[in-house]
């Protein structure tokens, strides 16, 4: 069975500071890993994904994540956040069936 | 424009009154799924469909039904809604193994 744990429910950070949102997963098979962002009153939008290949994945809006198989982690990072990055972020794990298992979400609060 | 369309976006109903939330995608995706989003619980899968006439239960299927008669449509049916089904619902679709594309969400309140 697959599962995802997002280690922080809320992450407050000041504008232009770096941020890391943590995600650990559990799976007995090869995984695909995703980060989605949800802005207020909107659906989920894909930030980035890891399917195979390079463990450092770059996504939209300056975000990147690193797949670490030994630590079963897929942490999301951005070197300098903006107010507009305030949103809820979801980590998800899936396989080749299409089904995704989501974490509980992390609310990123960027303060001026 | 490639999209997943859900209707209605907002609905207030009463206990026991049957309702259907429609979902349509124009990307020819085989895979479609319904999730509900509740505070502190993230997104939980209700039902999914691997292709036409192929549906299966997700993690929280109780109280819901689905059908997949056409590739593009995947309606969610609440035969007898109850207050614990008050939630934000998302439909999503993908090619198998690909990223999920989400609709804008349907906020349902059951009184």
- Report the half-sphere exposure of B82 (CA within 13 A, side-chain side): 4
Interacting residues of A74 by C-beta distance below 8 A, sequence separation 6+? A23, A24, A25, A33, A35, A50, A65, A66, A67, A68, A91
What pLDDT shows up at residue B109? 97
Domain that holds residue A73: 3-111
Among the listed residues A40, A46, A27, A28, the one whose alpha carbon sits nearest the alpha carbon of residue A90: A46
Q: Which residues pair with B35 in a beta bridge?
A: B45, B90
pLDDT, tens only, A47-99? 999 988 888 999 999 999 999 999 999 999 999 999 999 999 999 998 766 67
What residues in B contact A47, CB-CB < 8 Å? none
Q: Quote the distance between the C-alpha of residue B108 and its chain's center.
A: 12
Mutate to test the interface with B, among A7, A44, A90, A94 (most CBs of B within 10 A): A44
Residue A31 tokens read as 């995984």
Q: What is the CATH number of the domain that holds A95?
A: 2.60.40.10
Q: How far apart are CA B77 and CA B61, in angstroms?
A: 11
Q: What is the mean pLDDT of chain A?
A: 92
Name the residue facing A104 among B42, B45, B103 (closest C-beta): B42
Residue A80: strand, helix, or coil: coil
Range in A88-92, B36-40, B105-109 with the lowest mean pLDDT: B36-40
Q: Count how many domains chain A has.
A: 1
In angstroms, the Cα distances linking A3 to A60, A107, B7 are: 25, 19, 30
To the nearest whole Å, the CA of B9 is away from the closest chain A CA by 10
Among the listed residues B50, B77, B40, B46, the one whose alpha carbon sits nearest the alpha carbon of residue B59: B46
pLDDT, tens only, A76-90? 999 999 999 999 999
Mean pLDDT for B57-81 is: 96
Residue of A nearest to B91 (CA): A43
Residue of A nearest to B96 (CA): A98
Query: Would you say residue B84 has pLDDT above 90?
Result: yes
Would you say how long chain A is, in residues? 112
- Inspect the interface and report whether the beta carbons of B100 and A98 lie closer than 8 Å: yes
What pLDDT shows up at residue B95? 85
Query: Would you say residue B14 has pLDDT above 80?
Result: yes
Looking at the complex, does the CB of residue B98 fall below 8 Å from at least one CB of chain A?
yes
Read off the pLDDT band of B26 (50, 70, 90). Answer: very high
What pLDDT shows up at residue A18? 97
- Inspect the interface and report whether the beta carbons of A96 and B31 lie closer than 8 Å: no
């Amino acid at each position: 069975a697959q599962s995802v744990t997002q280690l922080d429910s809320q992450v407050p950070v000041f504008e232009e500071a770096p941020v890391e949102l943590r995600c650990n997963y559990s799976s007995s098979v090869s995984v695909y890993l995703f980060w989605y962002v949800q802005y207020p009153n909107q659906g989920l939008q894909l930030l980035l994904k890891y399917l195979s290949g390079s463990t450092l994945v770059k996504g939209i809006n300056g975000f990147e994540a690193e797949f670490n198989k030994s630590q079963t982690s897929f942490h999301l990072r951005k070197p300098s956040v903006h107010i507009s990055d305030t949103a809820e972020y979801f980590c998800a794990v899936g396989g080749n069936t299409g089904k995704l298992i989501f974490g509980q979400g992390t609310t990123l609060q960027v303060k001026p | 424009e490639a999209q997943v369309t859900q209707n209605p976006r907002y609905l207030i109903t009463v206990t026991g009154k049957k309702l259907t939330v429609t979902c349509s995608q124009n990307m020819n995706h085989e895979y479609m799924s319904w999730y509900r989003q509740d505070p502190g619980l993230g997104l939980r899968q209700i039902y999914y469909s691997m292709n036409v006439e192929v549906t299966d239960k997700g993690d929280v299927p109780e109280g819901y039904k689905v059908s997949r008669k056409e590739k593009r449509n995947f309606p969610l049916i609440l035969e007898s809604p109850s207050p614990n089904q008050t939630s934000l619902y998302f439909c999503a679709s993908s090619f198998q193994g690909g990223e999920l594309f989400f609709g804008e969400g349907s906020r349902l309140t059951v009184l």
